[in-house]
Structure 1
Amino acid sequence: MDDRKVYVIPCSGIGKATASVGREATYRVVEDERPGCADTICLGLLTLGDEEAEAKLQEADVITIDGCAKDCARKNVEASGKPPTISHRVHDYLKEHRDLKPETVLDIGEGGRKLADVIAADIAEEIDELRNECGDPCAGEDE
């Protein structure tokens, strides 16, 4: 099996509840939904030009999740020399799921957790599609 991972990279979004939702969705994907197939890299390392972090992305598919329209995750991944394969904005999900509003940065609440679940489920499906394109399915693997 190809051990190539799909990297899911959320924004840092300090002070934004929507950024906290994006980070929660990321952890759900890499820890619960697609462990072994998905991983994450600290956005700060890419911002600082960390060569090891940048090298990991070059041979991988990358999915970004931004908490606001500034698109810091997407822009910093692009600046590292690797355009994201797929980019998401939490606000786009809020438009579709108006009842799932996060509460605060420190506690996104039930609505925020459910929104993170929706985002994580979409990303898990995207990872399955990306892995199937390269002949390396992930869904249903026993890990």
Structure 2
Amino acid sequence: AIDGCTKSCAAKVAAERGGTVSQALQVSDAFKRHRGLKPDGVAQLNEAGLQLAQALAEEVANLVDQMDGEVKNA
């Protein structure tokens, strides 16, 4: 689950609907890991916002790769 709020709404809703959340990612944690990147807004991203989005996408890709390995080894 990728949560945009600190209350883990996406993960909670997935679990409530019978889904299994094998990985959870908080967008706020990505902000903390990349403190130097300050997006100007969310509708129109500046260069820092685009870099932050790319960093988050790479984190998601890494989690998916890890999950893929878990599925193959199951």
With the length of structure 1 as denominator, give the TM-score of the two structures: 0.46
Ranges in structure 1 where 5+ consecutive residues have no aligned partner? 1-63, 137-143
Secondary structure at the counterpart of residue 102 of structure 1: coil
As a proportion of its length, which structure holds more helix?
2
Distance in structure 1 (CA, Å) of the matches to 2:53 and 2:36: 13
The percent identity for this pair of structures is: 36
If asked which structure has higher relative contact order (CA below 8 Å, sep 6+), I would say 1
| Aligned residue type for 2:33 | E
Q: Given the alignment, which residue of 34, 37, 45 partners 1:97? A: 34
Is it true that 1:134 corresponds to 2:71 in the alignment? Answer: yes
Q: Deviations over 1:41-74 (max 9, x none)?
A: xxxxxxxxxxxxxxxxxxxxxxx11112122211
Is it true that 1:111 corresponds to 2:48 in the alignment? Answer: yes
Secondary structure at the counterpart of residue 24 of structure 2: strand
Number of aligned positions between the proteins: 73
Ranges in structure 2 where 5+ consecutive residues have no aligned partner? none
With the length of structure 2 as denominator, give the TM-score of the two structures: 0.81
Q: Given the alignment, which residue of 82, 88, 104 partners 2:25? A: 88
Runs of 4+ displaced beyond 3 Å: none
As a proportion of its length, which structure holds more strand?
1
